[in-house]
Amino acid sequence: MRLSRLGVAALIAACVLPATAMAEPRYTDEGRGTFLRFLDAPAADEPMRRSPTLHLSFGGPDYRAVMDTGSTGIVVAASLIPGVDSLPVVAPGKLTYTSSGRIMRGDWVMTPVTISGVGGDAITTRPLPVLAVRQIDCFENARDCQPTDDPRHVVMLGVGFSREGDQQSQSTPDKNPFLNLPEMGEADKPGRLRRGYVVTRAGVHVGLTRANTEGEFRFVKLARKDDGSDWAPIPGCISIGGGEPACGTALIDTGVSVMYLTVPRDQEAGFVTQGDHGRTLVPGTQVTVTFSARPSNEAPGYLFTAGMGGDPLAPSRIVLVGGKDRPTFVNTSVHALNGFDYLYDADEGYVGFRRLGR
């Protein structure tokens, strides 16, 4: 269904409200950002329904890679990396994708990487660790996984943050390609170009500048992780069926079209049904997500109706992830980008949300 027929509904559903009074980041044009247009960006009047892709190269052929804000690090089958056995090895490598249940094993090798979009615009990173995958294992209860000792088609571009706690202990900022361009600095020594990006439906701006951060962003300040190595996850509160919100953390994840949701059992009571893929919400249930540490009418957020295929903000499906003592959590899926552009500032520790339609 075309966005032109849903424009009013999408704007209402986005419900991005005035931000809480707080300091906001300021950006300059000292460095030069680069816009990478997605290879499969939807038409202007069509909703985004699948994960975006970009080209990735090690100096040889281009490989189509999913740009994933739900993981950190470039993950590629070792057989696709030219001269992989002659590259410096940093350490044995392992990265787990909890949404699918895949466990990638191999070596972290040092190499620069070129990433490009439609039209030829490209960035080339400093040499950084890349996971050369030589084996894929699976969780016992994996949702989508085939084990193999000879992986051939693995190409992922992980650009997320704060993923170390989700069975991705090696997914540290030094492995994020969008934070490792020549003009950029380090966490304790900023460079000319601010480390971060803005994800839109059409593509991604790499490096934050005054020009690519214009507009009415609503910012959320991130806490530091206890060890100081990265920023903490986005705070998030979730309300089911108009009930009292439960608060925990949120993940803007462009790597999946499915929402993964954990809320207290008493909050989901009366709204749960058994779907083809496990427990899910009853179609027609209203879900409200706000990006804040506690319930707030002043925080950025959005709402949608579960099971409504015509709602561009509604995920393709919702999986309720249970388990004893699991904290409240929402993985929004890529569909959230139909409501807003998404900014991540790695130098100052902010995420930002710019409502579409303005």
pLDDT digits (tens, 9 = 90+) for 241-258: 999 999 999 999 999 999
pLDDT at 1 over 70: no
> Of 79, 113, 106, 103, nearest to 91 (Cα)?
106
Query: Residue 339 carries which side chain, given as an amino acid letter?
Result: G
pLDDT (tens digit, 9 = 90+) per residue, 161-178? 997 665 567 879 999 999
pLDDT band for position 17 (50/70/90)?
very low
Q: Could you give all domains of the chain from N- to C-terminal order, each with its CATH number?
A: 48-193 (2.40.70.10)
In angstroms, rounded to a whole number, what is the distance separating the alpha carbons of residues 249 and 235? Answer: 4
pLDDT band for position 22 (50/70/90)?
low
Give me the pLDDT at residue 149, please: 87
Q: Which of 82-86, 165-169, 281-285, 325-329 has the lowest mean pLDDT?
A: 165-169
Q: Which of 19-33, 227-241, 262-276 has the lowest mean pLDDT?
A: 19-33
pLDDT band for position 124 (50/70/90)?
very high
Give me the pLDDT at residue 16, please: 45
Mean pLDDT computed over 235-244:
96
Give me the pLDDT at residue 167, please: 59
In angstroms, rounded to a whole number, what is the distance separating the alpha carbons of residues 258 and 279? Answer: 13
98-107 residues labelled b (16+ CB within 10 A) or e (exposed): bbebbbbbbb
Backbone angles phi, psi at 148, to 5 degrees: -160, 145
pLDDT band for position 227 (50/70/90)?
confident
pLDDT at 103 over 60: yes
pLDDT band for position 15 (50/70/90)?
very low
Sheet holding 246-251, edge to edge: 301-305, 286-290, 234-240, 246-251, 329-331, 258-262, 317-320
Tell how strand 258-262 and strand 329-331 pair up: antiparallel
In angstroms, rounded to a whole number, what is the distance separating the alpha carbons of residues 324 and 288? Answer: 23
With a pLDDT cut of 90, the percent of the chain lying above it is 72
In this structure, what token pair is assigned to residue 326? 């699991």
pLDDT band for position 312 (50/70/90)?
very high
Mean pLDDT computed over 88-92:
95
User: What is the three-state SS of 135-188?
Assistant: EEEECCCCCCCCCECCCCCCEEEEECCCCCCCCCCCCCHHHCHHHCCCCCCECC
Give me the pLDDT at residue 9, please: 41
pLDDT at 21 over 50: no
Half-sphere exposure of 72 (CA within 13 A, CB side): 25
Element (DSSP H or E) covering residue 318: strand 317-320
Q: Which residue has the higher pLDDT, 323 or 201?
A: 201
pLDDT at 27 over 70: yes
pLDDT (tens digit, 9 = 90+) per residue, 144-158? 778 888 898 899 999
Give me the pLDDT at residue 358, please: 43
Mean pLDDT computed over 297-326:
90
Give me the pLDDT at residue 14, please: 46
Give me the pLDDT at residue 163, please: 79
In this structure, what token pair is assigned to residue 206? 């790499």
Q: Find residue 200's DSSP bridge partners.
A: none
Backbone angles phi, psi at 288, to 5 degrees: -120, 130
Q: Which residue has the higher pLDDT, 103 or 209?
A: 209
pLDDT at 13 over 80: no
Mean pLDDT computed over 35-52:
95
pLDDT at 3 over 60: no
Give me the pLDDT at residue 278, please: 84
pLDDT band for position 23 (50/70/90)?
low
In angstroms, rounded to a whole number, what is the distance separating the alpha carbons of residues 244 and 247? Answer: 10
